[in-house]
Structure 1
């Protein structure tokens, strides 16, 4: 924060949050750590807002509006420690008063659009770690009729065997700026969900930083369960859920907009195995298009060639730190915090502030071996969904500063 303009903006926000009787006195509204809020509307804010929020805290606000209405939450201000995965300080927003269905996680200074619950209850939770930075957040909640929320609101719970979902204003005009939509699709326990986008036009950006659609396995916004993040004017490949729930999140920022999208879903039965023998293939989310066999993963894990000889044959080349690893089937899904990128190709790169990250799949989890917290030079191919694909013969090595000069030279090379 800092600066006269920022402070003036905070003062205006505080005036809006203060009843008239209190505005006439020198008192400021006092924001405490969490609380119970009921009624048609009100304000919540981080402890001590607009001062710097305290470290090592967990605050929970439970909001209830009148029965038969839904909660609309609008962030007026947000300034939390920035991190591309929101791992340190963050605000979570949930449907209902438990942590069962998260509809958003936010940090940094990105102000999301209106968040709408599916019922008359919503829970907001803010967590900070030992090192804090920023003035926290302030948000206004209000009650709205479920069927009269206007074009600015969208999302909901979808439980019919088939149906559609679309951006606000579709197909008459562009979707509005500053909107957040979350659709939660729930099939019976023994069925999966098939998802297909018919038309798709969301503000284009190489890293999908501004407007995007994200699809998650399960019922909450969870980076570990994200199937893909999409923008631009090419519809994503058809998606099939791993279980009986999918969450679709659409978010637009406060600037450029586009036509939007319409998508369709349908339930389908789980395919039964043909025999009782253990399967010999590993199942991946449909968007990855990877189907490694046991034979592939039995190959010797041996790096061949050099940085120079592998550079041109690789779709992407980067140096980065492994920050998360999750084993799925026989493969390893890793998130790489990028130190430097030398060859980008079609690799999907996410950016939050100055932090950039990419997702890679090590098709055979032990080969090559990636360990969390270590720095690597990673070369590989890119799947249709923009995720990096690391095969047993992909070139991986530990990253050291002495490699920097050679990699910078290769970056200038014409392949």
Structure 2
């Protein structure tokens, strides 16, 4: 049995690392260090742990950039013997992007044992940092420091196009809402983000109602990407052209990226979508839930609100077949007549039941 102890210890260590990812990312965020502007790989100067994925976003001031400089040590696993800083690093790496998202323009991705020499500068007003390690081969890592410095060009940072819907169970996003969020006479590319969030006990369903982009065959120039909670990973779906499908996020947060190569084509673009809270249960018996009939459950308060929050709109069809139909019937002039006929049928049935006859009872003609 002794030969099993190292295996059990390794499993325990792996489980512990997985459970404490948040704590292991504190040094990337500069928490617990003497200088908040300094950030290091987890456990530095000791070896960083396996299976770590940490993200940090640094925000600068108007007319200022964010720059990063590494200190004396830089050792991150490299697949190749002589990989140079800045090349693709498929395993462990430290990555910088000019923006606040994982899809923002890439500045550089570093690994290996060579100290990065190229300038790391974010001019958008945000610097996105990601450190990731795989399950094998841990090294000493790095120590770095960032600074907020005046912009070289002296211009204001790029306008950020961000709309947030963080409080509520559902809502609509529309491209027409972006117009008021853009500067007058905007030009160049358009890269906007809708950030959606619902209560933590639900997930997000994204129902596309209208979708029309200019130049349907140019998907690299005009597109929509849907991310679930974290833009570090690949998008759940990517759409372009004239059609888009519904998307179901596995988390309670969603990012929808809308990109146009020419902002002037916004006037010929039309996108409308409903996002809604949902959860999946075999039996929607919990209090406050409405059963959609396909193991999807939505908050009961969303039923009969005029918007189809269930995948097939059952939350609205029930209303039209049930409440509205009964109301319309009672409001019509046929209700008294039908009530009289119903009473007559009951009386005749009782007479037939208590009266012994040789022949079958026949209902009198109406």
Task: Give TM-score, length-normalised by structure 1.
Answer: 0.34
User: Bigger radius of gyration, 1 or 2?
Assistant: 2
Q: Per residue, is there more strand in 1 or in 2?
A: 1
Task: Give TM-score, length-normalised by structure 2.
Answer: 0.38
